[in-house]
């Protein structure tokens, strides 16, 4: 926090504009030894030009060897050290589905599960029920559970996953999970870690009791498990830290949610680059900082579709001239983490990044790709939290430190 | 501090000599895309030879994206983390003009300003009065202000800037600025933050009251503002930390001041490389560590004079054989920060550095320049605080850590 605060003290205002383009899960791996990654395979003349004129490197979203989730990875890009700024599972789930969590709310991540006749868990995910069933069950609970003085929200997420939010005065998130994280055991009691959480603990016990009755005859999802009780974090906001009036353009609620968590304005948009860039153009005069998010690269990686990821990167490349026409002062193109198609999941590999501005000191990198970026002046594994200070410096938005 | 202390415990003595040559503001930028920086343009056969035989890289004076002032930048070169070792504005001003600040003194940075008839500030810098006027006004105050039991020093700095030093027993620097940092307001009262500063606060109020009367009929500088009340920091000294008997050779008071702050002996010299190197030769047998400072490269950068900066770097290059004749064990050539001529000011860009010793492991860098140094074994942005441990190691002055 202290470095963030130091930087905050140096922030100054001008009319510069910073554009941060994030291709989710951008980093990749080659399909065979000495082969090319998705980004290296993609034909990206526009990104290559920015890389040649700018500075390059690969950033570490959380730390060496650590595979980030989307939440922490984006926090790092926004300048918040993900190891320091941690958000509970429940609050993250709320952020992820765009639920408007209030300061006093307590949120939990829920699973619909299956219990046997003796009440022991036989399947923690109720056979991964489909999302429509999850929606039906969530609505049932949302409607029928009644707790005096408490507003109860049960919102479907996906498959067996749901969000529980309790709204009342004097709630605390210091409550233990009811999910024992294994089968053959009964769900646990929601024990309070501290006396101030006694009230919340009783409310949760009441909720679970009522839910057990309501779900009793459902098949296979006849019970639920709760974990990660948490509240909204009390963090310094992006504009307080960096003096930037910022907006997020993202098709998925999760990314708008993380952006809103740090105080950015978030614009919903179809999952369509053309529409995202149209929104960017439309709001260009309204903000100082623009976070533009492309989700599909990550999805293609998770699907193991190497070629599709290549082609999506090329789609983004074709949009770059449109962004440059807006005359941004600083452009950053990167990913939040790596999602190599050959792994079909997020990975720990550092993430290629280029930063372009008229005042950067170009390095020797001539194209945008993992191996090229390893020779960049930003290094082959620099902390993601350095990105924002660099962006501000290149935008002329940081005063001199000391005389 | 803890890393510094660890290193301190390993320090051992021998007869080796370390030379640190600092070209102020050395780091630069090219004038056009794909062009060369000042250092890359300069013909530097002697520095190139040292780079080829030595190890290279670019150091970060304070941190990524942070543009250092001269004070913090030099502290980093001397091994003191500038984010940890911060000095107040007043004390820094004293250091900057070579005022011999004592332990009990309280110093402040002053501005001569203009106030209107109602006492409200109309110009915080009194139209940037010229330095001779500043000298005249400072002498007037220095002579006329009388406070019982307190020695008052008012010293001109430049244009509207002056230094105020109060010398007495039991002073404290926990006093608020009188400078509201904006026009349209009256100067503020020098409020004490803590009871122990009540005495100092009264003395300052008395000073301001007398000064207001003395300056009343001056035009345009009819009032003054004070900020950054501070005392000498209580830091571990360079020779305590590193066991080095050190001297500074510098033409400008600011650099001698920072060197003295960490306990180096400082030699005043004309702004002339020939004289600086003569002084180096003269004192070669007297010290273990020599900090030799060239100011003009920074001035040329701030003037936007690319060609002059190139030619000054070439001047330094021609002095290198003279230094090598003294048979130093370790030679470091670097800058304190970057001052690209195209920016006409200090910048955040990492600073080229070469370290030569008979025991370094030469890397692949063959010439001394920004892009060449990016490929050096020290990396393209290593912390400046690594320089001193490296220098000591190469001088054989650090024992093994652990058994």
Domain check: are A199 and A74 in the same one? no
Per-residue model confidence (pLDDT) at position A402: 85
CA distance B17 to B397: 10
Q: Which residues contact B125 (CB under 8 A, 6 or more apart)?
A: B111, B112, B113, B159, B160
**With an 8 Å Cβ cutoff, are A393 and B348 in contact?**
yes
Burial of residue A314, with CB atoms counted within 10 A of its CB: 0-12 exposed, 13-18 middle, 19 or more buried: middle
Min Cα separation A89/chain B (Å): 32
Mutate to test the interface with A, among B95, B335, B348, B363 (most CBs of A within 10 A): B348
The H-or-E segment that residue B207 falls in is helix B198-215
Residue A386 with chain B: CB contacts under 8 Å: 64-65
CB contact under 8 A, B348 and A377: no
Instruction: Note the pLDDT tens digit of each residue in B124-160.
Output: 999 999 999 999 999 999 999 999 999 999 999 989 9
- Domain end (from B174, B201, B230): B230
Q: What span, in angstroms and rounded, lies between the C-alpha atoms of B168 and B171? A: 6
Question: Residue B193: helix, strand or coil by DSSP?
Answer: coil
Length, in residues, of chain A: 403
Residue B114: which pLDDT band, with cuts at 50, 70 and 90?
very high
Q: What are phi and psi of B262, to 5 degrees?
A: -100, 10
Nearest CA to A360 among A330, A387, A383, A333? A330
A403 and chain B in contact, CB less than 8 A? yes
| Beta-carbon separation of A377 and B375 below 8 A | no
Assess if residue A350 is contained within a domain: yes
In a domain, B50, yes or no: yes
pLDDT tens by residue, B272-303: 999 999 999 999 999 999 999 999 999 999 99
B55's tokens = 């190890």
Cβ separation A364–B346 shorter than 8 A: no
Residue A402 in any domain: the answer is no
**pLDDT tens across B10-27, in order?**
999 999 999 999 999 999
**Gap between the Cα atoms of B202 and B220, Å rounded:** 27
Task: Number of A to B CB contacts under 8 A, please give it.
Answer: 92
Cα B135 to Cα B151: distance, rounded to the nearest angstrom = 19
Q: Which of A200, A230, A260 delimits the end of a domain? A: A230
CB atoms within 10 A of CB A190: 22
Tell me whether A300 touches chain B (CB under 8 Å): no
Contact A403 B348 (CB under 8 A): no
Instruction: Give A118-163 pLDDT, tens digit per residue.
Output: 999 999 999 999 999 999 999 999 999 999 999 999 999 989 999 9
Q: Are residues A199 and A50 in the same domain?
A: no
CA distances in angstroms from B360 to A112, B55, B355, B379, listed in the order given:
63, 7, 8, 15
User: What are the residues whose beta carbons fall under 8 Å from the beta carbon of A288, sequence distance 6 or more?
Assistant: A16, A17, A18, A243, A244, A245, A246
Instruction: Provide the mean pLDDT of chain B.
Output: 96
A253, A220: one domain:
no
Nearest to A400 among B68, B83, B370 (CB): B68
Per the DSSP assignment, residues forming a β-bridge with A160 are none
| Chain B residue closest in CA terms to A396 | B347
Distance CA B218, CA B212 (A): 10
What residues does A247 pair with on adjacent strands?
A265, A290
Same domain, B390 and B244: yes
- Interface contact B82-A401, CB threshold 8 A: yes
Q: Is B343 in Cβ contact with A363 (below 8 Å)?
A: no
Give chain A's domain count. Answer: 2
Domain identity same for B275 and B315 = yes
Distance from CA of B325 to the nearest CA of A (A): 35
Select from B174, B208, B230 the last residue of a domain. Answer: B230
A364 → closest Cβ in B70, B71, B374 = B374
**Nearest-by-Cβ selection for B71 from A364, A386, A402:** A402
Residue by residue, DSSP assigns B168-185 as: -TT----B--S--SSTTS
CB contact under 8 A, B371 and A382: no
User: Looking at the complex, does the CB of residue B297 fall below 8 Å from at least one CB of chain A?
Assistant: no
Is residue A373 located within the same domain as residue A283? yes
Written as six digits, the tokens of B239 are 């020779």
Q: Indicate whether B82 and B95 sit together in one domain.
A: no
At A189-214, the pLDDT tens digits run: 999 999 999 999 999 999 999 999 99
Q: Read off the pLDDT band of A303 (50, 70, 90).
A: very high
B370 touches chain A (CB under 8 A): yes
Instruction: Determine whether the interchain pair A402/B96 forms a contact, defined as Cβ–Cβ distance below 8 Å.
Output: no
Q: How many CB atoms lie within 10 A of CB A12?
A: 11
The answer to whether B82 faces chain A, any CB pair under 8 Å, is yes
Helix (H) or strand (E) holding A133: helix A131-144
Query: Is B401 inside a domain boundary?
Result: no
Calpha distance A352→A381 (Å, rounded): 9
Q: Which of B37, B63, B379 sits opposite A3 (nearest CB)?
A: B63
Peptide bond before residue B26 is cis, with ω within 30 degrees of 0: no
At B95, give phi and psi (nearest 5°): -55, -45
Q: Can you point out the beta strands (E) in B143-222?
A: 151-158, 161-167
A361·B29 Cβ contact <8 A: yes
Q: Are strands B382-383 and B55-60 parallel, antiparallel or unpaired?
A: parallel
Contact yes or no for B371 and A364 at CB 8 A: yes
B150, B156, B160, B165 alpha-carbon torsion, rounded to 10°: -20
Same domain? B326 vs B347: yes
Give the span between the Cα atoms of A26 and A347, in whole angstroms. Answer: 11
Is residue B1 over pLDDT 60? no
Residue B205 lies in a domain: yes
Helix (H) or strand (E) holding B97: helix B89-97
A-chain CB neighbours of B364 within 8 Å are: none
Q: Are residues B67 and B193 in the same domain?
A: no
Q: What is the pTM for the complete model shown?
A: 0.90
Q: Are residues B131 and B212 in the same domain?
A: yes
CB atoms within 10 A of CB A117: 6
Buried b (16+ CB within 10 A) or exposed e, B222-258: bbbbbbbbbbbeebbebbebbbbebbbbbbbbbbbbb
Non-local (6+) Cβ contacts of A182 within 8 A are A121, A124
Q: Which residue is it, tokens 């820094």?
A: B92
Evaluate whether B384 touches B61 at the Cβ level (below 8 Å). Answer: yes
**DSSP label of B361:** -
The total number of residues written for chain B in this structure:
403
In a domain, A400, yes or no: no
Q: Are residues B277 and B377 in the same domain?
A: yes
Structural domain range at position A382: 2-85+236-394
CA B17 – CA B38 distance, rounded (Å): 30
Q: pLDDT band for B95, please (50, 70, 90 cuts).
A: confident
Percent of chain A with pLDDT over 90: 93
Give the closest residue to A70 by CA, choosing from A226, A259, A233. Answer: A259
**A66 min Cα distance to partner chain B (Å):** 22
B172 alpha-carbon distance from chain centroid: 24
Q: Distance (Å, rounded) from C-alpha A146 to C-alpha A154?
A: 12
**Residue B307: pLDDT band with limits 50, 70, 90:** very high
Chain B residues within 8 A of A10 when measuring between CB atoms: 66
Q: What are A55's two structure tokens?
A: 């500075």
Question: pLDDT tens, B29-59?
Answer: 999 877 999 999 999 999 999 999 999 999 9
Q: Which residues in chain B have Cβ-Cβ distances shorter than 8 Å to A391?
A: 65
3-state secondary structure (DSSP) of residue B106: strand
Is the Cβ pair A403, B34 closer than 8 Å?
no
A282 and A359 share a domain?
Answer: yes
CB contact under 8 A, A359 and B29: yes
In a domain, B399, yes or no: no
Closest C-alpha among A241, A330, A393 to residue B67:
A393
For residue B351, give the chain A residue with the closest CA. A361
Instruction: Examine the predicted complex and report whether its ipTM is higher than 0.90.
Output: no
CATH number of the structural domain spanning residue B36:
3.40.720.10
Determine contact: B65 vs chain A, CB below 8 A. yes
pLDDT at A230: 96
Instruction: Look at residue A385 and tell me if it is in a domain.
Output: yes
To 5 degrees, how large is the angle CA B27–CA B32–CA B37?
25
Going by C-alpha positions, the residue among A92, A56, A55 that lies closest to residue A73 is: A92
């Amino acid at each position: 926090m202290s470095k963030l605060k130091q930087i905050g003290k140096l922030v100054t205002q001008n009319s510069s504009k910073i554009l941060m383009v994030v291709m989710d899960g951008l980093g990749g791996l080659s399909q065979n030894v000495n082969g090319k990654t998705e980004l290296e395979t993609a034909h990206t003349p526009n990104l290559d030009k920015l890389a040649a004129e700018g500075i390059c490197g690969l950033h570490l979203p959380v730390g060496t060897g650590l595979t980030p989730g989307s939440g922490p990875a984006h926090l790092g890009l926004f300048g918040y050290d993900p190891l320091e700024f941690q958000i509970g599972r429940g609050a993250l789930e709320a952020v992820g589905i765009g639920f408007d969590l209030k300061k006093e709310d307590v949120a939990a991540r829920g699973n619909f599960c299956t219990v046997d006749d003796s009440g022991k868990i036989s399947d923690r995910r109720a056979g991964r029920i489909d999302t429509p069933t999850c929606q039906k069950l969530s609505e049932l609970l949302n409607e029928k559970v009644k707790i005096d003085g408490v507003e109860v929200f049960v919102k479907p997420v996906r498959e067996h996953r749901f969000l529980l939010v309790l709204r009342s005065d004097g709630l605390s998130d210091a409550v233990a999970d009811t999910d024992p994280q294994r089968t053959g055991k009964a769900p646990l009691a929601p024990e309070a870690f501290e006396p101030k959480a006694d009230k919340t603990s009783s409310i949760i016990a009441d909720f679970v009791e009522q839910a057990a009755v309501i779900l009793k005859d459902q098949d296979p999802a006849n019970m639920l498990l709760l974990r990660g009780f948490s509240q909204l974090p009390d963090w310094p906001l992006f504009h307080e830290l960096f003096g930037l009036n910022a907006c997020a353009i993202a098709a998925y609620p999760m990314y708008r949610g993380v952006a809103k968590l740090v105080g950015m304005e978030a614009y919903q948009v179809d999952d369509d680059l053309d529409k995202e860039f149209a929104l960017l153009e439309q709001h260009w005069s309204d903000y100082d900082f623009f976070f533009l998010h492309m989700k599909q690269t990550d999805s293609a990686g998770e699907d193991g579709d190497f070629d599709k990821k290549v082609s999506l990167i090329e789609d983004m490349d074709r949009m770059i001239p449109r962004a440059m026409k807006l005359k941004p002062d600083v452009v950053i193109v990167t990913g939040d983490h790596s999602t190599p198609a050959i792994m079909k999941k997020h990975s720990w590999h550092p993430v290629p990044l280029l930063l372009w501005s008229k005042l950067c000191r170009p390095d020797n990198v001539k194209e945008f790709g993992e191996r090229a970026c390893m020779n960049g002046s930003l290094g082959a594994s620099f902390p993601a939290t350095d990105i924002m200070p660099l962006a501000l410096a290149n935008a002329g938005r940081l005063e001199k430190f000391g005389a």
